[in-house]
Amino acid sequence: MDDERDNHGSNCELCGGAYTLPEDEDLGNLPRVIACGHIFCTACLCSLEIDNVIKCPECKVESTLPEDGVNGLHEDCKIIGLIYTAKIHEMKRCIVPANVEKAEKDVEKAEKDVEKAVDEALAQAVENMAQLDHIHQTLVTGLATQAKREQARLVTEIDKAVDQAIHTLYKRREALLRELPNMQARFSSSQEEVSRVQERMNVLKMAIQTAKEFRHAPSLEQYDTLEKVLDTLQAPVDAQSFDMNCITLGCGLSCVWTDSLMEGLKMKAGSPEPLSEEPPLRALQQGGSNRKPAWCRGEGRSRSHTPPSRHKPPQQQDQESLRANRPSQCSSRSPGHQPGSTLTPLSPASDPGIYHLVLVTHVVNPGHFYIRYVAEKREGLMLTKKINHLCSGDKGRFTPSDTLETGSAVFVKWKDGFWCRATVVELWQSGSVAAVNACPITRLARIQVFLLDYGFTEAIVLQSEEGTTESLMEGVSECLRRVDMVVQSEMRCWAPLAIKCSLKDLIPADLIKGWSKEAQVEFRNVVGSAAMEMQVFGQDKNSLQVDLRKSPMDRASELPISVREYLVFIEVARFYSPVVFGRSPLPYYAPVYPDINTEFNAVVSYISSPADFYIQLVDSVDFQMLTAKLQACYNATTVDRDTDLHLYCPVMGQACVARFDDNVWYRAQVIGHPGGRKVEVRYVDIGNTKILSVHDLRKPKDEFFALPAKAIQCCLADVVPLDGETWSDTCTDRFIRLAHQKLVTVVAFEMEPNSRLLPVRLFEGSLDGPLANISDQLVTEELASFKNGHAEAPDVWDPPIEDLLAAEGKSDRDQEPLEFQPQLQLPVCLNELKVRVTHVSSPGSFCVQLTQNDSQLKRVSELLNQEYASMEPQEVEWKADMYCAALINGVWERGQICTTVTSSSIAEVLRCDFGNKVKLHVSNLQPLQPSLVGSLMLECTLYDIRPAGDQSTWTATACDFISYYLDGASAVMTVKEMTDERPVPVTLFCSNRMGSYVNMADSLVSEGLALKQWKPRNAVVPKPEESVAEPQVSGEQKDGPDMEKRGTPPSPPACPVLIPPPSSPTSIPAPSSAFPKPAPRTHLSAAKVRYVDYGLVENIPVVHVYPLLLCEDVPQLCVPCQLYGVNPVGGQWQWDAVALLKALLLNRCVDVQVMELPTDPRGSLTVQISMDGMNLSRILCHHQHATMDKHAERPIMIPPAPLLDDWEISTEGLESPEVPVLGPFIYPVLPQEGEHFSVRIKHLRTPNELFLWPVEGGAEVDEETLEEALDRINKDAGSLPQLSNFLPGSACLAKYSDGKYYRATLMDFVSVDPVRLLIQHVDFGSDDTLPPSKLRQMPAELLRFSTRALKVRVAGFKAPSVSLETDMLPYQPKWSKKAVQEMIGLLHGNISASVVATEPALTVLLFDKKGELVHLPLVSSGLADLD
């Protein structure tokens, strides 16, 4: 049996041959072990090798061979030992029998001596190894601590230096800090000692392995080297031979401040100095038995997190310290932070005016929530990366013998597959209902953990379908990882990122019930997921006392939303001792009061009593524009979509936009808090007050602050109540009937001191002037009395001539009936006619009514009503151009049928007296009497202007503009030329809010919506018989060319007054009921200004503009610029391109190169901008916002001066790189755009992205082609050195599957263990993943040849928008594999190309041998779409 077993163990199980040892020239047939554990001989394994892979003949498991092939596999030492033993026995049998006994004794004695020597050497080696391990660990730990201490010291010195020049040298500080992580490179002596110890340890490890192999299986050949091995094992370790003082020296760098601003902050090299703490050498000399591991020697951290107990939720546990004093700009900790250092918690005396940006990670209630600092985002990413590295692969897996306890630290897999830190809170064991304090990992059923960096608990259920220990351990490893002592010591450098906070002095509304569910929901809604401003007031036990404030999203509200005040406002919480902020909200501008003792027209918008009512001036269209913009901005769709406009916590006096009963939005101001989540507001443009829900309020945008409040608070000037104290309801009702929402004429008087009421007199008014004093009517009806008990003398009015004529006509009408005139008759004088605009189509067609024909219009209405009011509908066949009487809005009017009425019974009717068209049912039409046929309307056109942009028709913008401001307005018109043709050319003047009359044609021209009519220089303008004169303007009031002719400059205005810039638009006219003389200047309520030191353009109120020139000797600090050599796509810059420029350039330092100077000193400078080496023009081209100008010269960018040019760093002793860095490959010269050239397709990635090579590009260099040069180099490939520089983008030679080397470019690292690199063959376009052993340094001579594969994009087609294919490309899911196969088939044969564009990527068109586009069959089959 023994012989059979021996033969079985010494023979190969596959071929049956015996294993043999190498002797002399015979290589032998050694037993070797493959990956699955089976053993076969070397000959069998060589026969089984296929493509460097061996498939086991027994278990069919594939094993990848090492680089040395089969000879690189491990040998089975047990079988080899048996062969050696059998060989020794065979030698013993050959000894002469007479000397057998003596030989056996000698051999036995020699074996015992050898065994004893080996055992003693191994014992000494173990002691030496322990001592070397101690020295190595001490040096490594000392080196790390040395670097960290020096780094901390340098950080302190750098911070002190930066404090002296923080505003000018902040960037230099960042550059210095980036150099600190490489601090270990500064300690060359320490690294040399570490290398020496590691080398000694490696030698000792090899000797120990050799001795163990000899002890297990003696070998005759190893007897020769045994003495050397024993010497190595027994060699004592001389601690004095290692320079342990090297870790006590500093790096020699220090940061100092110099007087020069440019050299004020630099690293200064000096002699190394001993560190302040004693070196770890003393602990080494005291003996290695009493030493502690590195994680035990660090000082205790005051910020370590105590694991929560399982008796209460982790949100209620205490954190031993808080991090409220961390700066908001940069993190106070880093992975290199000294473990022994502590961060002082915030004291209650900290400055409460400092705000930190934070994110709320978890909310329990307003008194218990967790936050994370936004400034620690980078630190959190580094921590996550660190934890993921610690949990990668099989690291940190639990073993079946592990036991988990409450309070222990673990790693938990959370969302997106990331690992995070956690503390065990509760454990549940299989088969147990109650939680336990400790549980074996194999019986764990459920676990609840507290996430230290997020502040909340997470329950994890562990279930195994198979129920085996292996499946359970696999399930545990999927979601939990163990934290050992070494990892725990590393994690001490990272304090918990989640901080427990509480809103200061805030308690529940009901102390008995505590925090309600509504309070929690509202708190979560208001904090959301956006960054908040946190104000820290102090520390209370284990939490920070803070207030969270939501930052304003625009400049409309300078007061951020306080979360505490919001919760109190919605009555889910109340203050215990509230903190009052000293900031006040931004109100609307006060209304502009009119001049005293001056008549003006107004509408009474709201009446509370005769002593308290509000009026609106009607000589301005600003309010109409404002109302329209408010509705467009705050309609239901926009408000629901834009949550930033919601007003959560309104404060007293805050400006807002409120919804009225008619669902119309108006500007308002908060004046009270009645409770119940209600707000009392006053509408600043109307004057009334209303109590609304907070949901009906919105934040106003910046543009709505420009105009002042419209409503002016007034009181009747000359009357008092009858009882002298209170106004009666009867008097107030009568006053409302007389004045509310009616046009009145107002005369203002001087305001009394300390009063906000404007004393006024109201007169019932119309277009024909004032009629009666309302105060007199109240006194006459005995509802009020004059002041001082007597009536004042009535005002003596001096009516104009028109009023006298109207009065005479009225007296005449009293005597004789008014003569009916159905047709419009223009007066003899066509100057300054008062008209009312009834309909506006465009500046070239609008309709007006003469106000002098109001009596005729009234007469027409009366006659139509008498004739048709009681008439029954008639069946009439209505045809085009027939006149009719139409019932419109309950009033009979004259009309004319526009088109023949069909079966629809709907007729389109032109209103003869108004000019607009309406659609009516035929039942509302009656035939018009011939005596009533006519029209009192005149169709007009603006004189001396034409549409802008060389258009024949008016644009919709111009039509909307004039229709918005003229429809229904009163104006003054002058007929320029009276003819029988319609429309009649006229000049139209409308009154603006300042009482000045503005020419509407000039307004259109100033807005850029119209151009002045071109006239020849010698053209004779025909004049009518009557001299046509525009409204009279005094010499001081005129401006423009007439003023230049007079040569008299206007007098300078008193400051402050707005001087409109030349580009400011003319004020828009508005309806007016009076006709005052034009004012000397048109004033604006807002002006568009440009800040010359910032370049910003903004609309600001006129009261903030002063005509003062300050610092005229200082040039403007902002220079207007334009990019060089780029053209916008479509001919003009789109909004998304501008948004990209803002995101890239605003508040960022860039490198600017001036390309061209402007001819005009105020023109734009043509520049080229680079950001971190990237050209801004190419970025725009890459995003397809612009194209490069073909005629623009390619700029030569001047590299910026390096930031570290003033460092005094010695380079003495540094060696130059052994391998020179090769330059980039040469690209072939392509033909001109549009020229066809033959190409060869090298590689295809997608149907429209491939690599090609111009056929004519393979020219010889020095009478040698690229193929010949590669063949010559591959013949001597063994002499090529291994690649040692793995810089991405560098050139190299890569080994292909055919065994030859080809030119390639390094792309990236694919894996680290094993090392695999991604390369791209520059002459083929294909990618490959290779180990470093298949990469070689490329000779520089191969750079002479241009690349043979150019990456291009094929124009003319794109991926289909809808694809019926299911098999798609994994790396480009838009394309199907069928499309790739079809494209490959189309690219065979003679293919030619034509360059379409070179920027942002090389784009070509491909043609087949027939000259047709290659991609057309692909499009016709539905595998692609035309582009």
> For residues 1399 and 1402, what is the distance between their CA atoms, to the nearest angstrom?
6
* pLDDT over 50 (residue 1035): no
| Mean pLDDT value of segment 372-392 | 86
For the residues 189-211, what does the mean pLDDT come to? Answer: 83
Distance CA 217, CA 222 (A): 10
Phi, psi of 985 (to 5 degrees): -70, 130
Mean pLDDT on 1063-1074: 33
Give the model's confidence band at 615: pLDDT under 50 very low, under 70 low, under 90 confident, else very high.
Answer: very high
CA 826 to chain centre: 65
Kind plus residue range of the DSSP H or E element containing 144: helix 100-164
DSSP β-ladder status, 758-766 and 712-716 = parallel
Instruction: Reply yes or no on whether the pLDDT at 619 is more than 70.
Output: no
Q: What is the pLDDT of residue 1044?
A: 36
pLDDT reported for residue 278: 41
CA angle, corner 760, sides to 757 and 764, nearest 5?
135
pLDDT value, residue 711: 92
Listed range (803-812, 1171-1180, 1362-1371) with the worst mean pLDDT: 803-812
Q: Please give the pLDDT value at position 682.
A: 93
pLDDT score of 683: 93
What confidence category does residue 1006 fall into, taking pLDDT thresholds of 50, 70 and 90? confident
* Closest CA relative to residue 712, chosen from 625, 595, 604: 604
**Cβ pair 920, 930 in contact under 8 A:** no
User: Can the peptide bond before residue 843 be classed as cis, meaning omega within 30 degrees of 0?
Assistant: no
pLDDT at residue 321 in the model: 38
Burial 176-208 (b: 16+ CB within 10 A, else e): bbebbeebbebbeebeebbeebeebbeebeebb
Q: Of 42-51, 480-489, 621-630, 795-804, which range is least confident?
A: 795-804
Average pLDDT, whole number, for the chain? Answer: 76
Mean pLDDT value across residues 1005-1022 = 65
Q: Are 671 and 681 in contact (CB under 8 A)?
A: yes
Residues 788 and 299: their CA atoms lie apart, in Å, by 90
What's residue 1419's pLDDT? 86
What tokens were used for 85?
A: 């033993």
DSSP state of 657: E
pLDDT of residue 168: 58
- Annotate 424-489 with DSSP letters as a single string: EEEEEETT-SSEESEEEGGGEEEEEEEETTT--EEEEE---SS--HHHHHHHHHHHEEE--HHHHH
Contact criterion met (CB below 8 Å) for 548 and 530? no
- How far is it, in rounded angstroms, from Cα 179 to Cα 172? 11
Note the pLDDT of residue 1099: 77
Predicted confidence at residue 978, as pLDDT, reads 80
With a CB cutoff of 8 Å and minimum separation 6, the contacts of 732 are 607, 608, 609, 610
Token pair recorded at residue 580: 């009052």
Q: Round to whole Å and give the CA distance between 529 and 372.
A: 12
Instruction: Categorize the per-residue pLDDT at 612 as very low, low, confident or very high, splitting at 50, 70 and 90.
Output: very high
Tens-place pLDDT, residues 811-868: 444 444 556 788 888 888 888 888 999 999 999 999 999 988 888 888 888 888 888 8
Given strand 678-683, what is the order of strands in its sheet?
689-693, 678-683, 665-675, 655-659, 697-698
Q: Which of 86-95, 955-964, 1416-1425 has the lowest mean pLDDT?
A: 86-95
pLDDT of residue 269: 61
Under the banding of pLDDT at 50, 70 and 90, the label for residue 308 is very low
Output the pLDDT for position 276.
Answer: 46
Mean pLDDT of 1071-1089: 45
According to DSSP, the β-strands at 785-786 and 719-720 are antiparallel
pLDDT of 974 over the 60 cut: yes
Average pLDDT (928-949) is 88
For residue 375, pLDDT beyond 70: yes
Mean pLDDT lowest for which of 718-722, 1088-1092, 1412-1416?
1088-1092
How many other CB atoms sit within 10 Å of the CB of residue 965? 20
Q: Is the pLDDT of residue 607 over 90?
A: yes
pLDDT at 250 over 90: no
Region for residue 1285 given its phi and psi (left: phi exceeds 0; alpha: psi -120 to 50; beta: otherwise):
beta
Quick: pLDDT tens for 649-704: 788 888 999 988 878 889 999 988 887 678 899 999 989 999 988 888 888 888 88
Q: What is residue 848's predicted lDDT score, i.e. its pLDDT?
A: 92
pLDDT tens digits along 1303-1316:
999 888 888 878 88
Which range of 507-511, 578-582, 1038-1042 scores highest in mean pLDDT? It is 507-511
Check pLDDT > 60 for residue 114.
yes
- Return the pLDDT at 157: 79
Q: How many Å apart are CA 1136 and CA 1138, to the nearest integer?
A: 5
Buried b (16+ CB within 10 A) or exposed e, 1288-1324: eebbbbbbeeeeebbbbbbeeeeeeeeeebbbbbbbb
Helix (H) or strand (E) holding 1385: helix 1377-1386
Write down the pLDDT at residue 164.
60
Q: 1171, 1144 in Cβ contact below 8 A?
A: yes
How far apart are the C-alpha atoms of 908 and 898, rounded to whole Å?
Answer: 6
The structure tokens listed for 897 are 């049928």
Q: Of 762-776, 856-870, 967-981, 1329-1343, give the lowest mean pLDDT range.
A: 762-776
The mean pLDDT value for 1374-1378 works out to 88
Token readout for 641 is 């979509």
What percent of the chain is predicted at pLDDT more than 70? Answer: 76
Q: CA 501 to CA 611: how far, in whole Å? A: 53
**How much is the average pLDDT of 635-646?**
59
Q: Quick one: average pLDDT of 8-14?
A: 73
Q: 1009 and 955 in contact (C-beta within 8 Å)?
A: yes
Looking at the predicted structure, is the pLDDT value of residue 331 above 50? no
Spatial distance between the Cα atoms of 477 and 414, rounded to a whole number of angstroms: 13
Name the least confident of 285-294, 709-718, 1309-1318, 1394-1403.
285-294
Confidence of residue 162 (pLDDT cuts 50, 70, 90): low
CA distance 677 to 356: 30
